[in-house]
Amino acid sequence: MKYLLVLALLLGLTCHAGTIEGRVVRVADGNTITVLDARKVQHKIRLAGIDAPEKFQAFGQRSKDSLSALVFRLEVTVQTRKRDKYGPEVGKVLVGGLDANLEQVRRGFAWHYNAHEQSTEDRRAYAAAEAEARLQRVGLWRDAHPVPPWEFRKGKRKK
């Protein structure tokens, strides 16, 4: 019985799901925001299912600007599922019914990434949005050889 209680507690720590509602008070980059809830608690949120260019990478500032235009100082609802290994909660950000994560991909300012975080429906929508952005050569897809942020980070670690 004691082991079941410990297991339940451990599962509760790894399976973080819920809803956060509040105002976006900070946009760190193209896939990370801070939401201030009604209790004045700040929640650092990484947008699920996407990865955006790093700040000092090509299109990094444009990606941040795009996300800012979508959510900064606006009321959002965040559907969270977990925390990432660095601490932020991971979730889908909805602003006025619009999926901001998907819109970043649609605008060409993020890659569809970590699809295992998503529902089948979202996986399909995000993959289709990326394919269309690539085809239309919008955002970072204007670059002849865009470097995915995970490759950019890997290159920086080697230096």
pLDDT attached to residue 82? 86
Q: What is the pLDDT of residues 11-61, one digit of tens each?
A: 444 445 799 999 999 999 999 999 999 999 999 999 999 999 999 999 999
70, pLDDT greater than 80: yes
Rounded Cα distance, 44 and 62, in Å: 21
Which runs of consecutive H residues, i.e. helices, occur in the chain? Answer: 2-14, 60-71, 100-106, 120-136, 149-158
In a domain, 5, yes or no: no
Which pLDDT value is given to residue 125? 97
Backbone φ, ψ for residue 29 (5° rounding): -160, -165
In a domain? residue 66: yes
Number of domains in the chain: 1
Model's pTM, two decimal places?
A: 0.86
Residue range 86-138, pLDDT digits in tens: 889 999 999 999 999 999 999 999 999 977 779 999 999 999 999 999 999 99
Decide if 142 is inside a domain: yes
In a domain, 1, yes or no: no
Mean pLDDT of 140-156: 93
Asked whether residue 7 is assigned to any structural domain, the reply reads no
For residue 37, being part of any structural domain is answered with yes
Q: Which of 59, 39, 40 is nearest to 51 (CA)?
A: 59
Q: Does the residue 3 lie in any domain? A: no
What range defines the domain where residue 51 resides?
Answer: 15-158
Q: What is the pLDDT of residue 17?
A: 76
How many angstroms separate the CA atoms of 51 and 113, rounded? 6
Looking up residue 34, the CATH number of its domain turns out to be 2.40.50.90
